[in-house]
Structure 1
Amino acid sequence: MATTNSHTNSAEYDVVIVGGGPVGLLLAYQLKRFGVLACVLEQYQKEEQDQYGRAIALFPRTLEQLHQLDLIEPMLQLGFACRTSVTYKDGKRILPGRVWNFMENIKDTTYDFVLVLRQMFTEKILREKLTKVGVEYYQGIECVDFTLNESTSLDDYPVASKFVEKVTGKGFELKSKYLIGADGGRSFVRRHAGIPFEGDRSDDRWIRIDGLIETNMPLARSYGAIESKTHGNVLWAPLDHAATRIGFAYTEEIAAKYPGGVTQEVAEKEALESMKPFDVRFKEIHWWTLYTIGQKMAKDFATRDRIILCGDAAHTHSSGAAQGLNTGIHDAVNLGWKLALQIRGITKPEILKTYNDERKLAVNQLIEYDKDISVLMTHKWPKWYKGDPNADPYIILGEIFEKAGSFNTGLGISYPINAVNQTTAAVLNVVPGSRPPDVELTMPGTGRKLSLQDVTPNLAKFWVVVFAGNPVSTKESLLSLRDFLEERDQSFLTREYISWITISAINGYSPYETLGTKPFGDTFFDTTSSAHEKFGFGLERGGILILRPDGLVAHGGPINGQIVENYFTKLFRN
């Protein structure tokens, strides 16, 4: 892995990514996996930055996405899988817990937990992956300028970006088809592109402090909320490597005690105060920070079709719901396959444009509810509250977390009908733009159990899933489907960006015997018929489901070649 730059002025890439945090690294890894040439330039030397801290929680939908990108296993080896939560008030446990209780109710996914892994380790894993797949990654390189020639064609390199090596002062220029700003809340790319960053900053400040801790608090390895009137709704988060994070509000009253400002000693002292009546002792302190709460979002996540923002460069919010890194990863996953298919000349331009619309909608939802969460966690009332001012804000906080449970886990995030998410041709139990249920499938022969995510990895390919039902009627439908598709000049059966699988409701000795004809792609058995039932496909004639590369539902209907042709004709250039 390189840490200095030796580019010439004529260096060209499909994509130049400014920012080597987890979002930029993940996007670069995907683009390489999808056959696109990209490089990452990070202005800091990561080994000299804070070694711990920052984002820690990866929620179920994020874990599913990492699974589909073949990234999850090293993270599972290092992280702490948390499945339980607890809320304490005046030293007593509240049943049920008021804040993180959705963690006990995660269903319909293999990843029924929150993986807690500090950003330092997440970034290290991603950098190692970049090295293995051969992505160019450079540290200590600052972006100082870029220009865009808007009169060029889609296949040209219209973005000219200027960089400076921070140690040597040497400058160089890169040309690219696209420039990605993944360079954080103070994004140079966003500012230089003139994209407004709209929203609010509050006067509220929070402290976060990590380390190895001893305590007499019961359930110390559960995700905890300690309700304090002096330090807000205190976060207790078990971390990787047996560490723990404590987070609390640094109120005006607390700040008044320390006219000299906040130091590590102050952060540690107030962390101990925030946990009373429990006893807490730090054996080691790894990291701490004091930061101001606010919610901001870029007016657009893409401008002039060539400059695109991801992660904190596009939106910032509090850490109250622990959604920052998850939201950035969802940005990168949403953008990765769309950008790759655009660069490879496969999809029409309107497909890439759905990135801006889909992610802005999801981020706006997060910001709206994050505003209330961050205020309530500080033991104050939101402006809209007209109830009893002497009531307990933490009760409302718990209600908001409960209502937003599916959003917190990411499993309930969905997108509206658009160029990718097209209205289905039948009444199904799944909605285009939403996450499909994580059904259990069986491998022929061995009987090994697999999830739908196991058999539909994100390879920048759409997945056509044929649900086969009754052998007699289904055989007829399958033969008709194959005849229809093979008659096309460019068969949808052989295109590199479409993959097929068959899910059979009948459990047989071999796929061919079970179906009575050649299957579409690999075949898996739905031994309990639960997959057909969850998707709304009858066992008599089955149906077709089309999944986006990121695993979301795109379209569906009966086993009919016209369904497939109509859908992909709207997406692809030819």
Structure 2
Amino acid sequence: MNEENNTSESHTDVLIVGAGPSGLMTAYWMARCGVRARIIDKRGTKVMNGHADGLRMRTLELFDSMGIQHRVSHEGFVTAYAAFWAPGEDGIPIRQNTYTSAKINESPLNNMLLSQGRIEQFILDSIQEHSDIQVERGVIAESLEYDEQQDGNLEAYPITVKLRTLSDEEASLATDPENKSKSQVARNGLYRSNLTADDWDDLIHRSKARQAKTEIVKAKYLIGCDGAHSWTRKQLNIPLEGSSTDHIWGVIDIIPITNFPDIRRLGTVTNASGTILVIPRERNLVRLYVPVQVVEAGTTRRFDRSTITPEMIRTRVREILTPYTFDFQICDWWTAYQVGQRIAPTFTKGNRIFLAGDAVHTHSPKVGLGMNMSMQDSFNVGWKVALVAAGVAHPSILSTYHPERHRLAEMLLDYDRHWSPLFTEMKSEAAESPDKTQTMIKVTELFEDFADGLKAFYGASSLVWKPEGGEEVPAVARCLIPGERFPPAKLRNQAEGGTHWTMRLMKSDGRFRVVILAGDMRKYEQKQRVHTLGHLLAGHGAVNGSLMRRYAPIPGRFDSPLDLMTIHSAPWAQAEFFDFPDILRPLDPVMGWAYGKIWCDDAPGWDRYCDGRAYETWGVDRTRGALVVIRPDQYIGWVGELENVDQMVRYLDGVLVRAGNARPKL
């Protein structure tokens, strides 16, 4: 205890600032990997309603690997169809175009809509399942010092942050800084009737008596997930570069009373009065985005939110939906915002401080990607920091965060620049299109792979092996591209005969997956290749001659940072579990054989999603197979032939710390 100022001092491996979806996703990785971490947030409680709501395919796949997707599916609203309305010959809006993604079958999970507050609750529950990490609410950071001279010493704590606990009044204001300017129509949505039991518990526990105090925290790593007005980013003097438009938008979550036929369908309505984005939600709610005001072009002052009211938004919606009627009695949440596209030039400071989500990129919420991009940023940096902090991975992998995510943030802003003008009278090629609804569809198709996360575009690095000589796709697996996601498929368990999706099998637990695509085990030559592979894997270890002993364990979690998974292509009834080498189906003296390690690409007949065509999806020869390394975030790191074990081990040696070795320096 410091006697001079009565300020306590503590140490932690990782300090996370901000407990929105981005910050919680980062904390998830610390929980899964057993890393000592703290997460603070100035809000007195988590988000209860409103805010972000769109969930893309890739995000849902990650949720499935985390074990929380079933909760999202239970409460969320699927969006597989969109309708676009525009004036007909008589000027009255009619349904002009409809759209269903042509790539809807590239993932078993369709895009969904669900309140940010529920997503936060699901991640919080997962964190608590795996650790004792708790969000410290009503706590702000007041100062930040970073001694980059200590970067090279992984045992050092080069980051010093002064924290202060807010009073109840301060924490309440931080939870809803616009409360005083809002109409009582919404009451911020915080009334018992529209809260689930777990949300209500969080709300009533937030008002426990607070004792104002300060604390000095020494940290090895700092991750700022504190939003568009990021305190962390400002302390580092990292700017957000870009501009804002002169259009002000209102967003409102209501239960509509209307005769508009597509109010429960995702889509847009355009007429001479403007354009509305319609987003159906859970619990019979509908979110509406509507232009409400234009500020003086070129002004640098922030617009006055108090001039925007739910009644103003109601009026604008009525104008645009005419001749259809529109009203509401229940308003769950609302806000107003100014469109802007901004990006930070760097997402990192030195080798120890990282920024994620809205802290480093902002855009219009109408593209429905903000929460997705933020969580995927944190998913990316989270597992890397966690494994380095745990002494499992080389610190050099931390340098891959910025190039992997900054490129996608630039694509996000490019998407928004194409999309946002379609809702306004802004001068752009898209906005001046004679068929705006058709242009909307073209823009959607142009950015679909990126927006839904079907493509990641990660470049070559220590974590992404790319073949030399300009060959982008290894011939052994045409569709398994290093730096891209592993395409999901449903497989049949060899021992049990049941079926499971790959993203659920490849849990987000911090381990790299070495996937042996064993090919057709009925063929004598192929069976010999697989057994030779087993022998090679057994000979690449630092202890007991096994690859599984070659690298430092994840302390308190797993004896190895590798998980072997085998998928063969022979018919299920014509192969046996014991056909495979021992290393691929290890025996635990207490728990028995690892029956969950051997899988089959075969169609059982009673599960239409398990079609026995995974090898074709992956572009892999059904006889010869392939060898694949998948990163903890389910992106492909390395691909090769079954014989390329030495090359695979060189890849892994560049990422993972050898067992028994001293911790490497930065």
> TM-score over 0.5 for the alignment?
yes
The aligned counterpart of 2:76 is 79
Q: 1:72 to 1:313 in 2, by over 3 A?
A: same
Give 1:510 deviation, angstroms.
8.7
Q: What amino acid maps onto 2:617 in structure 1?
A: K
How many Å separate the matches in 2 of 1:441 and 1:162? 51
Deviation at 1:120, TM superposition (A): 2.0
- 1:398 Cα deviation from its structure 2 partner: 2.8
- Aligned equivalents of 2:272 and 2:578: distance in 1? 65
Instruction: Identify the residue that residue 3 of structure 1 maps to in structure 2.
Output: none
Q: What is the DSSP-based 3-state SS (H/G/I as helix, E as strand, rest coil) of the residue aligned with 1:11?
A: strand
Counterparts of residues 17-416 of structure 1 (less than 5 Å): 17-46=16-45, 51-90=48-87, 92-94=93-95, 96-97=97-98, 101-103=99-101, 105-111=103-109, 113-132=110-129, 133-152=131-150, 153-167=153-167, 168-232=211-275, 234-252=276-294, 261-382=307-428, 385=429, 391-416=434-459
Deviation at 1:412, TM superposition (A): 2.3
Higher alpha-carbon deviation: 509-518 or 149-158: 509-518
1:533 corresponding residue in structure 2: 616
| In structure 2, distance between residues paired with 1:390 and 1:350 | 48
Partners of 1:426 and 1:556 within 8 A in 2: no
8 Å Cα contact 1:426-1:558 kept in structure 2: no
Whether the 8 Å contact between 2:80 and 2:100 is mirrored in structure 1 is no
Q: Which amino acid aligns with 1:457?
A: K
Match of 1:498 among 562, 578, 582: 562
Q: Greater shift after overlay, 504-513 or 54-63?
A: 504-513
Matches of 1:474 and 1:131, distance apart in 2: 45
Partner of 1:4: none
SS of match in other structure, 1:44? coil
The residue type paired with residue 499 of structure 2 is: K
Write out per-residue CA displacement over residues 367-404 of structure 1, whole angstroms, 9 at most, x where no aligned residue: 0121121122214332xx3x995734444333211211
Structure 1 pair 526–401 and aligned structure 2 pair: CA distance change class (3 A): same
Summarize deviations over 1:276-312 as a string: whole Å, max 9, x none. 2322221201111111110111111111111110111
2:475 and 2:30 map into 1 onto residues whose CA distance is 34
**TM-score (norm. length: structure 1):** 0.91
Indicate whether 1:552 and 2:646 are aligned: no
Contact 1:36 1:340 in 2 (8 A): yes
CA distance in 1 between counterparts of 2:118 and 2:431 reads: 45
Contact 2:534 2:582 in 1 (8 A): no
What amino acid sits opposite 2:36 in the alignment?
L
Q: Give 4+ residue runs of structure 1 displaced > 6 Å after superposition.
A: none
Separation (CA, whole Å) in 2 of partners of 1:466 and 1:277: 61
AA aligned opposite 1:526: D
Tell me how far 1:535 sits from its aligned partner: 2.0
Q: Which secondary structure state, in structure 1, belongs to the residue aligned with residue 443 of structure 2?
A: helix
Q: Relative to structure 1, is the Cα distance of residues 33 and 511 closer, same or farther in structure 2, using a 3 angstrom cutoff?
A: farther
Shift of 1:519: 6.2
Return 5+ residue gaps in structure 2 as ranges: 1-5, 168-210, 298-303, 468-473, 552-559, 586-596, 604-611, 659-666
Aligned in 2, Cα 1:151/1:527: closer, same or farther, shift over 3 Å?
same
Asked if the contact 2:8–2:216 (Cα under 8 Å) also holds between the matched residues in 1, the reply is: yes
1:26-68 per-position Cα deviation (integer Å, ceiling 9, x unaligned): 2102211122111111011126x7x421101101100001111
CA–CA distance in 1 between the matches of 2:133 and 2:231? Answer: 23
CA contact under 8 A between 2:56 and 2:112: conserved in structure 1?
A: yes
Q: Aligned pair in 2 of structure 1 residues 550, 489: CA closer, same or farther (>3 Å)?
A: closer
The CA distance in 2 between the partners of 1:186 and 1:259, in whole Å, is 16
Question: d(CA) in 2 for partners of 1:405 and 1:204?
Answer: 26
- Mapping of residues 456-467 of structure 1, within 5 Å: 456-467=506-517
Local SS of the residue matching 2:161 = strand
Partner of residue 438 from structure 1, selected from 488, 505, 528: 488
Task: Note closer, same or farther for the CA distance 1:56–1:513 as it changes in structure 2 (3 Å cut).
Answer: closer
Distance 1:487 1:252, change over 3 A: closer
**Inter-CA distance 96–268: structure 2 relative to 1 (3 Å threshold):** closer
Aligned length: 556
Contact 2:477-2:621 within 8 A present in 1 as well: no
Structure 2: how far apart are the matches of 1:149 and 1:165? Answer: 25
Q: Is the 8 A contact 1:208 1:248 kept in 2?
A: yes
* Contact kept in structure 1, 2:39 and 2:134, CA below 8 Å: yes
Q: Please list the CA deviations of residues 138-173 of structure 1 after superposition, one character each: whole Å capped at 9, or x if unmatched.
A: 111111111112232112221111011121542111
Amino acid paired to 2:145:
T
Do the aligned partners of residues 416 and 102 (structure 1) sit closer, same or farther apart at CA in structure 2, a change above 3 Å counting? farther
Identity of aligned pairs, percent? 26
Q: 1:201 to 1:377 in 2, by over 3 A?
A: same
Q: Unpaired segments of 5 or more residues in structure 1?
A: 1-6
Aligned-partner residue type, residue 365 of structure 2: S
CA RMSD of aligned residues (A): 2.5
What is the letter of the counterpart of residue 452 of structure 1? T
How far is the alpha carbon of 1:509 from its aligned partner? 5.0
Give, in whole Å, the separation in 1 of the partners of 2:433 and 2:531.
Answer: 70
Q: Residue deviations 1:82-128, cap 9 Å, x none?
A: 2221111235544532xxx35464122110x2221111222233333
Tell me how far apart the structure 1 counterparts of residues 166 and 104 of structure 2 sit (CA, whole Å).
46
Contact 2:512 2:561 in 1 (8 A): yes
Separation of aligned partners in 2, 1:379 and 1:396: 14
8 Å Cα contact 2:422-2:431 kept in structure 1: no
Name the SS for the 2:378 alignment partner.
helix
Q: Which moved more, 1:67-76 or 1:288-297?
A: 67-76
> For residues 339-375 of structure 1, what are the alpha-carbon distances to aligned partners after superposition, in whole Å with 9 as ceiling and x for unaligned?
1111122222221111111000001011012112112
Q: How far apart in 2 are the matches of 1:532 and 1:548?
A: 20
State the partner residue of 1:9.
8
Is the counterpart of residue 567 in structure 1 residue 644 in structure 2? no
Q: 2:431 and 2:103 mapped to 1: Cα distance? A: 31
| Change beyond 3 A, Cα 1:445–1:194 | same
Classify the secondary structure of the residue corresponding to 2:261. Answer: coil
CA distance in 2, matches of 1:67, 1:407: 20
| Cα separation, 2, equivalents of 1:242 and 1:200 | 36
Query: Counterpart amino acid of 2:389?
Result: I
After superposing the two structures, state which structure 1 stretch, 79-88 or 285-294, moved more: 79-88
